[in-house]
Amino acid sequence: MSSRRENWELERRLQTACLLIITAILCAIAAYWMRTVLIPFVLSFFVFQLLAPLVKFLEKKARLPHALAVTLTLAIVGSVVVYTSSIVTNSVGQLLNSSDAYAARLDQILEKIWAEHPSFEDRFKTLAQQQLEKFSEGVGSFLAALTNSVVYLISQSTVVFLFVMFLLFGSRTDEEHTGVLAAIDRQVKNYIQVKSALSMTTGLVVGFILHVLGVDLAVIFGLLAVLLNFIPNVGSILATLLPIPVILVQPDVTTAEAVLAIVLPGIIQFVIGNILEPKLLGDSLDLSPVTILFSLTVWTALWGGVGALLAVPMTSIIQILAEQLEFTRPIAALLRGDFLQLIGSYKKLEVPKPKKTKGIPSELGGTGIDDLYRDIKKVEKKHSGLENENRADTEEPTEQTEPSL
């Protein structure tokens, strides 16, 4: 009986695991197929989590009505977006005006390399000249692609803005979540707020350092540092390496300034990413480093750059939801990196084998023979009690006669 129950339990768990794998694959296909609709909505949810504390602050501290607080918050955000867009436009115009100077500087660097290493000239000079001739065309293609990307971002931003507006107007600051929603709201809101503050600080410091050192496109590199800092492990490295091509081809940057423009942002990224961020976030996400890298790869494949930005909070939400049901808790353990709990969840049930007793059939072992022994003792005791009662009934009392006088 125990082996049959054990096999049934194992079969049930295997079926559950297979169904979960199939469900995950179908959800990934649906997320990729519906990415045009899901990306703006998910982005609006996270932007809502970022702006909700500002609305709450205006309502409590400034004692503004809810509608007025939401309107003022949207106006502030819109002003920041418009100002940032104007700065990006001016930086792109600066890049276009300086393209000839960049080409001349690149030609000068190559001539210096040919002079110091003549063997390289025979191999790469023709290829380098072809690439230099295409440099101006490449700048034009880059600007065209950048323009298309800006148009796409504006269209997506409009949809996100509408979603955020409805979410803010429909929310209430005195509304309290309970259960799973409370855990998701607390964990995601804490991550977004802390990560946004650290990313903005990183972008401001990096942009200021590059601007002081005279590096072109310093503002754009600062904005890229803000966005790339949301990408775990990889984003800070990319944000540090991106200014290098511009630093190398910029003619008015000295060697010391070039070194400082690479080293100082790297130090800032290291201090904020490896010292401040672990202290402020701690283990609130409860995700292992391997899970973070894997989720970064999966969400980037599904949703591109937006998926890379949202990989960590989305995976954290999945981990919280998986923790609520018993048959999905192994998935939550896997996301946390708790392999001991994962192995324990699917460990085969061990049923103790009955001990064999000499002279007793094998099917009557262990607790079975003890119960049989107790039943026999009860029957013997009852039988002996009945015999005593019968013996008492059959015995006649002896009459005592008084002695005659």
Q: How many domains does the chain have?
A: 1
Residue at 223 is within a domain: no
Residue 362 scores a pLDDT above 50: no
DSSP letters along 296-338, please?
HHHHHHHHHHHHHHHHHHHHHHHHHHHTSSGGGHHHHHHHHT-
Q: What's the mean pLDDT in 270-281? A: 82
Instruction: State which residues form the domain around 148.
Output: 34-174
Residue at 155 is within a domain: yes
Q: What's the mean pLDDT in 241-245? A: 84
Q: Write down the pLDDT at residue 292.
A: 84
Cα 181 from Cα 189, distance rounded (Å): 12
Nearest to 99 by CA among 146, 142, 148: 142
Q: How far is CA 65 from CA 55, 57, 61, 163, 230, in A?
A: 10, 11, 11, 21, 33
Residue at 256 is within a domain: no
Q: Which of 94-108, 235-249, 250-264, 345-359 has the lowest mean pLDDT?
A: 345-359
Residue 130 scores a pLDDT above 60: no
Residue at 255 is within a domain: no
pLDDT digits (tens, 9 = 90+) for 287-332: 777 888 888 889 888 988 788 888 888 888 888 888 777 777 777 7
Which of 106-110, 247-251, 378-382 has the largest mean confidence? 247-251
Contact (Cβ atoms closer than 8 angstroms) between residue 230 and residue 194:
no
pLDDT digits (tens, 9 = 90+) for 203-226: 999 999 998 988 888 888 888 888
* pLDDT: which is higher, 270 or 287: 270
Residue at 363 is within a domain: no
Residue at 40 is within a domain: yes
Contact (Cβ atoms closer than 8 angstroms) between residue 91 and residue 150:
no
Q: At what angle do helices 66-97 and 135-170 cross, to 10 degrees?
A: 180
Query: Strand, coil or helix: what is 380?
Result: helix
Q: Write down the pLDDT at residue 121.
A: 56
Residue at 83 is within a domain: yes
Residue at 326 is within a domain: no
Q: What's the mean pLDDT in 171-191? A: 72
Q: Which of 1-5, 189-193, 296-300 has the lowest mean pLDDT?
A: 1-5
